[in-house]
Structure 1
């Protein structure tokens, strides 16, 4: 049950972030669910590998390179999901930040 609620929270976060950030398009609710699932998959399996490989540059940039990894995950999700498009680096960065904030706020009610 908790997994379904977290999926709904992520879907809502995708929809909210796509409506706030110019340059991000999501075709509909079904596409938002698919984006939430793909981002969850990428963040579970691909992100840790990238973070380990990028550890030296992350240390040099005092952790700011994690934002670049986050943007890369969003670009990869946009590449994999039809109906989800991100126009540029700044749009992907703000999309990720807003999605994180919305997910965190809504997740507080779950715990």
Structure 2
């Protein structure tokens, strides 16, 4: 259970850094703007809302990577072998698009612009950050 929570935190951090670097990634919440409009509190409510939004999208991304990605990786094994593993980046980008689609049904909306390269660059950034953070925290060990 502890490693799952650490993985969600790492996913949230990686998504935040990727959206900070790439202008085509955006996470928006309808609940944050409604809370600010009704209470008039901007700083604390908005910050907590953004942090929770990234953690929520990190949770969705973790579930997608846990359940969908192994099946897609297995089915695309021949093309992954032909490209010497580079097709894995395309699979990661597809998992980001799937996360974006799933989040459209929630109050937290994770959007990727229409360019495929934004998702590919985001997948590379998220993979590198997850790799480093996983090594530092020991979450990648089993």
TM range (shorter): 0.7 to 0.9
Q: Of 78, 82, 89, which residue of structure 2 is paired with 1:67? A: 89
Partners in 1 of 2:137 and 2:57 — Cα distance?
Answer: 21
Q: Is 1:37 aligned to 2:63, yes or no?
A: no
Which runs of no fewer than 5 residues in structure 1 stay unpaired? Answer: none
What count of residue pairs does the alignment treat as equivalent?
111
Partners in 2 of 1:74 and 1:35 — Cα distance?
Answer: 10
Partners in 1 of 2:66 and 2:9 — Cα distance?
Answer: 17
Partners in 2 of 1:53 and 1:108 — Cα distance?
Answer: 28
Partners in 2 of 1:31 and 1:79 — Cα distance?
Answer: 15
Which residue matches 1:48? 70
TM-score normalised per structure 1: 0.88
Q: Is 1:95 aligned to 2:95, yes or no?
A: no
**Which range is displaced more, 54-63 or 67-76?**
54-63
Structure 1 residue 41 displacement after superposition: 0.8
Compute the RMSD of aligned alpha carbons: 1.5
Which residue matches 1:81? 103
TM-score normalised per structure 2: 0.70
Q: Is the 8 A contact 1:42 1:73 kept in 2?
A: yes
Which has the greater radius of gyration? 2
